[in-house]
């Protein structure tokens, strides 16, 4: 199987798991004000309030989930990799397909994804 999912541009940064995992709240507001939140799929968060609520969930959980928000049939779980100043400088994610991995199973990968992100942080 070949997945054709692409990393979203800055305009679609909210649509993939790495985006919300690394997107600071102030930058989220700047993005929504400048470019809006265009939908890529029916699941893409397109309202500023939706995005802000999701960013709160991501900060509380320490990981983000993309459930077909960027590409149909593709779901991901991602976590931020923090740089020396403690700010996100990148992200780690696991991507799968909806017909092989349910949402509960995907979320069960979150501790390993977070551990990988934390292991990478000192290297940056």
Q: Is the pLDDT of residue 65 over 90?
A: yes
Name residue 70's beta-bridge partners: none
Q: Residue 63: what pLDDT?
A: 94
Which residues are paired to 82 by β-bridges? 88
Query: 68-82, pLDDT tens digit by residue?
Result: 998 999 999 999 998
* Distance between CA atoms of residues 21 and 2, nearest Å: 25
Per residue in 78-122, pLDDT tens? 999 988 888 888 889 999 999 999 999 999 999 999 999 999 999
Distance in angstroms (rounded) separating the CA atoms of residues 83 and 98? 32
> Radius of gyration of the chain from Cα atoms?
14
Calculate the average pLDDT of the chain.
Answer: 81
pLDDT of the residue at 124: 81
| Cα separations in angstroms, 111 against 12, 19, 36, 52, 108 | 26, 18, 32, 23, 7
């Amino acid at each position: 199987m070949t997945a054709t999912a692409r990393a979203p541009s800055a305009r679609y940064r909210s649509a993939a798991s790495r985006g919300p995992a690394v997107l600071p709240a102030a930058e989220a507001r700047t993005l929504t004000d400048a470019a809006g939140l265009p939908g890529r799929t029916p699941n893409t968060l397109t309202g500023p309030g939706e995005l802000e609520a999701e960013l709160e969930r991501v900060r509380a959980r320490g990981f983000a989930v993309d459930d077909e928000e960027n590409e149909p049939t593709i779901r991901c779980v991602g976590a931020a990799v923090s740089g020396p100043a403690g700010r996100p400088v990148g992200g780690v994610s696991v991507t799968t397909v909806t017909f092989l991995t349910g949402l509960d199973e995907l979320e069960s990968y979150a501790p390993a994804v977070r551990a990988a992100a934390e292991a990478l942080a000192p290297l940056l």
